Structure 1
Amino acid sequence: MEKQGKAISEETKQFILKLQQNEVTDRAIYLNLAKRVKKQSEKETLQRIAEEEGVHCEIWEKYTNKKLTPQKLKVWLYAAISFILGYTFAIKIMEKGEKDVQYIYSNLAQEVPEAEQILKDEEIHEQALIDLLDEERLQYVGSMVLGLNDALVELTGTLAGLSFALQDNRLVALSGLITGISATLSMASSEYLSARSEGNTNALKPSLYTGIMYIFAVVLLVLPYLVLPSDQFVPALMIMLVIVVAIIFSFTYYISVAKDLPFKKRFLEMAVISLSVAALSFGVGILVKQFLGIDV
């Protein structure tokens, strides 16, 4: 295939090969995501963007004289991410990756005239994607945050207090599960009634999201007390606190990417609250055991 424009340096060619590979893979990812979305308008937008990525591939191919194939592992990875965390999160992660290579386009403009137009296309992609995204699960972020925050604060405090008061992992796990399951049903029903009172005809969905996030946190936080020996309540408590921080980090990162919200401030705020409640509850457990003379 004949090259267009003036000759390019070997270094520029390597840059173009990298961009070409990205475009080929991104095209495959967009087409794959288009098959999964339900709204026809979003499906058509993703297909249109995939077509434009294909046009970019043809431009780069004229400079590299190579025909590349999609990176199957990357395509599979984004398919898995979209299935588990939603296509909004997957697309936002992709767009963050494209921002990282935009400076390359600017540097290529002198040798490759088409680079400037491709950069403009990429910026249009980003805005178009932001405009089209309306994933159902993100409409219930408030319910998810409510369920997770309440579970982390309440259950972290309960388990921390019981850890020293009972000093038996099986008893702590039993108490935690009873408390957690009861609280899950209470929170879900409260969210349902709240949504109904606000005139929401589909009040079941926010209540389900609240309940699912709550029980998810309950299972993970109680797990160390079920796995470790009965007398290892301090290691179980430490692992539980690590799990709390990991959950807060993961969920906050997910929301910050999917909803374009600041990450650091939200993460620190939630972590400080949960760990502070755990510390205070642990102190209450010590006081209860010491001054009330309760010995299990």
Structure 2
Amino acid sequence: MSAPAFGLLLDVDGPIASPVSRTVAVESIGRDLVLMANAGIPVIFNTGRSDAFIAEQVVPVLRAAELEPATPVYTVSEKGAVWAEVTPEGLGEVSVDAELKLPDALSEDVRELVAERFSELMFFDETKRAMVSVEQHVHVPSERYLRAQEEFDAAVPALLKKHGLEEVRIDPTIISTDVEHQRLGKDLGASRSLELLAERDIHPQAWYTMGDSRTDYAMADWLHEQGHTVRHVDVRPADGVPETEYPVLVSETGAIHDEAGAEFLHRWAASL
């Protein structure tokens, strides 16, 4: 088997799913992802999202675009703690790293915290298997959510202390907060991704990574450190593009989020 010309490691919120609607809203995204996957290009969703989100929001789009069986498509969810193959029928067997799973008692306390103080602005994500997450309600204005998020984030350390949890960090995004084991991250997701492909003797010649935040650079950093050729796409460069030892690409049209993601996916699909 010849090595694929490239592989894709894709954050989901932002580049693939709209951070506004939380759906795959740009029609060409599913079509171009499937065109590449059916041609043997590895497509891996390296995301903080749960496997349930991928099953509900991403798999139907790929199915509609006629994803073929046995394509090299995976989700590495919850920043490396959970992983599964993506098929036209749905997800294969879901694996969870038990060492990185936060205790159920913490989940219960965070759920209660949200219910008592923040339920009008955010919800507890019941689909997470390893981390503990809350997310902005779609109908809530961003500025209102972000004010409440600061208050929520400030309340979490007391819960971590209550449960004697030290190797845990609080990671806020523009629409959510993840409470997670400190080993989780897009670099761990990248490592898991290559392990999954190696099990099938798939070794891409190069990589494209894509994300909408500074933390997403960690997957490109890891690939570069391991000696892989990589280019990173930043679909929300307003946060500032850091200096890197590999190329960083941004939309030439000024598009951001999933519209920028769609531009690059279409370009790569057309290159095959």
Of structures 1 and 2, the larger Rg is shown by 1
Larger fraction in helix: 1
Q: Is the shorter-chain TM-score for this pair beyond 0.5, marking a shared fold? A: no
Larger fraction in strand: 2
TM-score by length of 2: 0.25
TM-score by length of 1: 0.24
Higher RCO (C-alpha 8 Å, min separation 6): 2
